[in-house]
Structure 1
Amino acid sequence: MILYIKYMVSLRCKMMVKEELKKIGLHHVNVDLGVVEIMEDITPVKFELLKNNLAKSGLELLDDKKSILIEKIKDVIIEMVHYTDELPKVNYSDYISEKLNQDYTYLSNIFSEVKGITIQKFIINHKIERVKELLLYDELNLTEIAYLLNYSSVAHLSGQFKKVTGLSPSYFKQLKKKRKSKLRENLESI
């Protein structure tokens, strides 16, 4: 049986879900971001118990088809942007459609209806979050980041970054350096 869980976005969440399953006597085959496969069918009583226990930790066990589909779309995008070494070279619409085995127009319409933003905007927001992350790690330059995240150019990445954050990537990096030096000064004065 497959269960879908909202807000499950980290390894810590996966560990916590495994622990909750164990507590109520459910055996998992696979626990992945947003999706849990268990060996047995779940009784309504155990479903409610799991739902309540997960809610205490900020996770939500989903039971309606639209919510489940939205979470699947979000999980595909989050995995694609944050957990792969290189983004797919195909159109994101083709990638998402293929991963979920659904027509992209249908997925796009449902996503926009429920979330109030387009899938494309959701992808852009996550790509910019990934850019911020990579800038903070300071291991790649902007050209390498643009290549890694499939931007057509550094100018395209910079323009999108500024549109979403209000800052240029270089200014964002400077803020990080200023914060580090301020922190260092504060620690030295103690």
Structure 2
Amino acid sequence: MVVKAELEKMGIRFALLELGSVETMDDLSPEQLRELKIALLKSGLELMDDKRAVLIEKIKNIIIEMVHYSDEVPKINHSVYISEKLGQDYTHAAKMFSEVKGITIEHFIIAHKIERVKELLLYDELSLTQISYMLNYSSVAHLSQQFKKVTGLTPSFFKQLKIKKRIALDNL
């Protein structure tokens, strides 16, 4: 709604406006782009006109949605899932992601899965077996091993801690 209001206020015609994406009917001048960036920043939004940055954000959003907001992590290979969601070649996307973020997509997924494990351990509603199944780990041992490698703690020790250390999703 904010983006739509700013576009209309600036007299910019658009053909498509959906969450995270705008397609303008005319090319914007450098001055219009600058004004739009400033207006969006005032509302806490950012204009991403760099195709690489847009691709990276799409990949991050797909992973966050997959790990944190779905009932189960898909049982298919992550590369296939991401490629299908993006509608483009995974190899190209993975290379771009690594260049920009300095981390592989796989390591990014692992970091998010571990944060999800921490969250589920804090809720204390599911067993480690249920959590490992939900996040598509091959076994509880594999989950525990990866958890310890990332956090330095076993899941059971983490669960016993008085102060639970979680990382904000934006900082992963």
TM range (shorter): 0.7 to 0.9
Deviation at 1:143, TM superposition (A): 0.8
Deviations 1:48-99 (A, max 9, x none): 3442244346542211111111111111111111111111111000111111
Q: Is residue 12 of structure 2 the alignment partner of residue 30 of structure 1?
A: no
- Please name the residue that 2:46 is paired with: 60
The answer to whether the 8 A contact 2:148-2:155 is kept is yes
The answer to whether the 8 A contact 2:122-2:159 is kept is yes
- Please name the residue that 1:134 is paired with: 120
- Please name the residue that 1:156 is paired with: 142
**Structure 1 residues 91 and 23, CA, compared in 2 at 3 Å: closer, same or farther?**
same
**Structure 1 residues 50 and 132, CA, compared in 2 at 3 Å: closer, same or farther?**
farther
Deviations 1:108-144 (A, max 9, x none): 1111111111010011011111111111122111111
Instruction: Give 1:112's aligned amino acid.
Output: S
**Structure 1 residues 103 and 36, CA, compared in 2 at 3 Å: closer, same or farther?**
closer
The answer to whether the 8 A contact 1:30-1:38 is kept is no
- Please name the residue that 1:186 is paired with: none
| Structural mapping, 1:62-77, within 5 Å | 62-77=48-63
The answer to whether the 8 A contact 2:132-2:143 is kept is yes
Structure 1 CA distance for aligned equivalents of residues 144 and 44 of structure 2? 34
Equivalences, count? 157
In structure 2, runs of 5+ residues without a counterpart are 9-13, 165-172
Q: RMSD between aligned alpha carbons?
A: 2.5
Percent identical pairs in the alignment equals 64
- Please name the residue that 1:99 is paired with: 85
Structure 2 CA distance for aligned equivalents of residues 80 and 106 of structure 1? 20
**Structure 1 residues 111 and 138, CA, compared in 2 at 3 Å: closer, same or farther?**
same
Determine helix, strand or coil for the equivalent of 2:37: helix
Query: TM-score scaled to structure 1, two decimals?
Result: 0.71
Instruction: Give 2:72's aligned amino acid.
Output: E
In structure 1, runs of 5+ residues without a counterpart are 1-17, 181-190
Instruction: Give 1:21's aligned amino acid.
Output: V
Query: TM-score scaled to structure 2, two decimals?
Result: 0.78
Deviations 1:4-56 (A, max 9, x none): xxxxxxxxxxxxxx3x225425488532xxx2357866855664344224434
Which is worse superposed, 113-122 or 59-68? 59-68
Structure 2 CA distance for aligned equivalents of residues 40 and 125 of structure 1? 40
Which is worse superposed, 154-163 or 41-50? 41-50
